[in-house]
Amino acid sequence: MNASSWRSAADSWEACVHTSVLHTITSLDVGGAQVMLARFLGRIDQNRFSSSVLSLLSPGPLAAQVKHANSGLVSISMTERPRPRDVFRLTRSISRAAPDLLHGWMYHGNVAATLGSVLGLNFSPVIWSIHHTVRDLADEKPLTRQLIRLSARLSSRASAISYCSRVAADDHERLGFDPRRRVVIPNGTDCDQFSPAADAGAKLRHLFGLPPERLIIGHVARFHPMKDQISLVRAISRVLAQGYDVQGVFIGEGHADGPVRRAARDLGIDDRITTPGIRGDVADLMPGFDVYALCSAWGEAFSLAAGEAMASGVPAVVTAVGDSGWLVGDSGVVVPPRDSEALAAGLIRLVCLEPAQRRALGQQARRRVMENFSLSLYVDRHLELYATALGRRRHISS
């Protein structure tokens, strides 16, 4: 973005003091879109405009972060299949809020923002956010498929569609989403929260009882078939078979007693896979990884965890899903998805480096995130999008 564009956006925001924004989202459970919303709200200036969140389902763990950011929070406690009373509650909530701008997050939140705005006779600009790629519509649940088709029909009503990756934009436009609404704003990482720490490796090994010389391959995500963590377990088994002293650390829900643990036992590497479950100190643990592994098979748009690892000074091996290749650039390794042999080869490329070489690659990864995918850039790009939408509305109304 050039200087004149920034000045134009800043001038627009001067005219938008005390603008109210209502964010509609499926829930506040832990997920990529929910995390980005919470972080976004924590960075914006509440004196310039006020923000509130409408959670369609009962709020989840991230509700505390939303409230900590001095943002309002309401829920209509909707079921997965909306009932007539849910639509009424949605419409009433939007009418009462009377926002100057609506920002939808995820498919349900996007559709809710548009339908609730129309039914509530609130004709403020509506911005959608999409944090998902669709390799094949058949991969999605039946209800999600229906929602995507409905979204395609409604997409021209949105002022803009903010995709967190270029691949996500391509996928959805192939499915009928209005290409004129495309804006790509990659997920942003807080590079102050996620940063290198010289003693993190020693602390991590002490925490999990690992030998000081053992290299740690880290992975942070809940268990889900689309994340394909079983391929990573198989890849680590191959790396061990090649004689490299490594430990796989899988942080997230569903690993401690789930398929990852069972796969490790079946492969005879149970002692080389650590599954501590959900951790609240991921930012402290990540710099202790020697290599980060993203093993998703589909659905990944722009990995938050990979960006956080890179900002922590950890080089990454990623599968070619979503914009993972764009994220790592020349600072990591990209391999095909669903291929544990290729994933193992990619891990070995980084594991076999000298420590100084790995650190230098990690520093390169951090610079890439800071220059292209920081949280401050994410916020600024969205504020510019808000200014454009609100400016267009003022132009039309005048």
Cα distance between residue 328 and residue 308, in whole Å:
11
Contact 21, 386 (CB under 8 A): yes
Q: What does the block give as tokens for 362?
A: 């990690």
Q: Which of 341, 340, 345, 338 is nearest to 320 (CA)?
A: 338
CATH class (in words) of the domain with range 3-188+374-397: alpha beta
pLDDT at residue 332 in the model: 97
Please count the other Cβ atoms lying within 10 Å of the Cβ belonging to residue 257: 10
Report, in angstroms and rounded to the nearest whole number, the Rg of the chain calculated over CA atoms.
Answer: 22
pLDDT at residue 55 in the model: 96
Containing 380, the helix (H) or strand (E) segment is helix 375-397
Q: In the chain, where does the domain assigned CATH 3.40.50.2000 lie?
A: 3-188+374-397, 200-372
HSE at residue 279, side-chain half, CA atoms within 13 A, is 22
pTM for the whole structure: 0.89
pLDDT at residue 393 in the model: 63
pLDDT at residue 12 in the model: 46
Cα distance between residue 332 and residue 350, in whole Å:
8
Contact 298, 135 (CB under 8 A): yes
CATH architecture of 200-372: 3-Layer(aba) Sandwich (3.40)
Q: What are 215-263's pLDDT values in tens digits?
A: 999 999 999 999 999 999 999 999 999 999 999 999 999 999 899 999 9
Predicted confidence pLDDT, tens digits, the chain (398 residues): 444 444 444 444 444 457 899 999 999 998 889 999 999 999 998 788 789 999 999 989 999 999 999 999 999 988 777 788 899 999 999 999 999 999 999 999 999 999 999 988 888 999 999 999 998 898 888 989 999 999 999 999 999 999 999 999 999 999 999 999 999 999 999 999 999 999 999 999 999 999 999 999 999 999 999 999 999 999 999 999 999 999 999 999 999 989 999 999 999 999 999 999 999 999 999 999 999 999 999 989 999 999 999 999 999 999 999 999 999 999 999 999 999 999 999 999 999 999 999 999 999 999 999 999 999 999 999 999 999 999 876 555 54
Q: What does the block give as tokens for 298?
A: 């589909």
Cα distance between residue 365 and residue 94, in whole Å:
42
